[in-house]
Amino acid sequence: MRADKIWQVSEINSALRELIENSLLPLWAEAEVGTLNIHQSGHVYMTLKDARSQLRAVFFNGAAQARRLHLKVGDRVEVFGQLTVYEVRGEYQLSVRQIRPLGLGELQRRFEELKRKLDAEGLFDPARKKTIPLLPETIALVTSPDGAAVRDFLQIIERRFPNIHLQIYPSPVQGAGAERRLAAGIEFFNRAGRADVIVITRGGGSMEDLWPFNEEILARAVAASRIPVISAVGHEIDFTICDFVADLRVPTPSAAAELVVGRREEFEQHLKRCNKDLRGALQFRLQNVKNRLQLAAASHVFREPIHLVRQKQQYLDELLKTAAFALERNRRDKEQRCRLLASQLEALGPHNVLKRGFAILRDAETGRNITDHRQPSGKELQAAVRTGTMTVTVN
């Protein structure tokens, strides 16, 4: 007869934990926050409940997200996690991995849908992004005049470059219709044309708070802006459609102010470096010219300048001599050519032909040469021979 196994309590709780964790997949749950304790360790302990039941939950290292969501008792939330057992107390609980306000899933779906649509149209293309001016004269700010974002922005501008002109278009930054007012601000500054850069900004908040910056009407207004647009919405971990469309996205309003005007000290240091480089370049150029001048002054030409003149005179004499020789040779060639042509003409002349026994007949009346034997009988002709001329009669 075998003895029954005696279980320890911890063994039972451990077995239950393995059974629950291996039997159920991670799941989404909808609930209301019943109790909430954000521990100094960074973990969040809470109770999730509905109309009939409640469930303990723990969100390890979730304090930052809970604070960002402004989580409080009574909030309706959607949580994603794994059911497990806290063996020390024998209590089952939900180990939360993600938490979001109720309905955020639908907002996330709309966000991704619009993001894909605008990306396909090329509104996120880096090639269409405009360059942010290094130091604008006029900054246009589209935001709520009562928010902390505008105060932080103004403080940084005042501290660094108080002479920069700042224009503010007041607009709500959350709630129904805020996206239209924000878009109207972008369009206003484009019509006025007096701003060098537009900063659209607000502080952090939940996804619902930031939702106007995810609306299509604002995204298209930012994309159509002829003036460069900087998007400084929420905190560093927050991303909106406006961020993707803008020419530049910065994580916070303060970062936008720091970037758009830079640091006075950095500009001053840059100017000092440029001044130093310029002075060095001028000194180098001046020393180079001095060296060339000293080298030239030490040359034979500058010590005895008449030597250069005499060299040119000698060169000119050589040119004149060469030219005279060429002219004389050309004259002799022409004379020889003329004598050759004269001898050829003389050999072909009629006088030399008569010396060989030939005669030239001419009409006695007209003096024209006779080239046709058909002449009338009794016609008198003149015959030229070597020794003279005689008269002959055609028979």
pLDDT > 90 in the chain, percent: 24
Q: Model pTM greater than 0.85?
A: no
Q: What is the mean pLDDT of the chain?
A: 84
Both 96 and 158 in one domain: the answer is no
Both 183 and 66 in one domain: the answer is no
Residue 128 covered by a domain: yes
> Between 248 and 313, where is the model more confident?
248
Q: What is the pLDDT of residue 264?
A: 60
Confidence band of 304 (pLDDT split at 50, 70, 90): low
Q: Which of 88-97, 188-197, 251-260, 267-276 has the lowest mean pLDDT?
A: 251-260
Of 102, 124, 152, the last residue of a domain is 102
Span 127-131, mean pLDDT?
A: 91
Both 242 and 119 in one domain: the answer is yes
Q: Which of 49-53, 136-140, 350-354 has the lowest mean pLDDT?
A: 350-354
Q: What is the pLDDT of residue 300?
A: 64
Q: What is the pLDDT of residue 258?
A: 74
Most confident of 9-13, 248-252, 323-327: 323-327
Span 208-213, mean pLDDT?
A: 87
Residue 329 covered by a domain: yes
Residue 271 covered by a domain: no
- Three-state helix/strand/coil letters over the chain: CCCCCCCCHHHHHHHHHHHHHHHCCCEEEEEEEEEEEECCCCCEEEEEECCCCEEEEEECCCHHHHHHCCCCCCCEEEEEEEEEEECCCCEEEEEEEEEEECCHHHHHHHHHHHHHHHHHCCCCCHHHCCCCCCCCCEEEEEECCCCHHHHHHHHHHHHHCCCCEEEEEECCCCCCCHHHHHHHHHHHHHHHCCCCEEEEEECCCCCCCCHHHHCHHHHHHHHHCCCCEEEEECCCCCCCHHHHHCCEECCCHHHHHHHHHCCHHHHHHHHHHHHHHHHHHHHHHHHHHHHHHHHHHCCHHHHCHHHHHHHHHHHHHHHHHHHHHHHHHHHHHHHHHHHHHHHHHHHHCHHHHHHCCCCEEEECCCCCECCCCCCCCCCEEEEECCCCEEEEECC
Of 57, 87, 102, the last residue of a domain is 102
Q: What is the pLDDT of residue 262?
A: 65
Span 12-31, mean pLDDT?
A: 82
Enclosing domain of residue 366: 352-393
* Domain tally, the chain: 4
State pLDDT tens for residues 34-85.
899 999 899 999 999 988 889 999 999 999 988 888 888 888 888 999 988 8
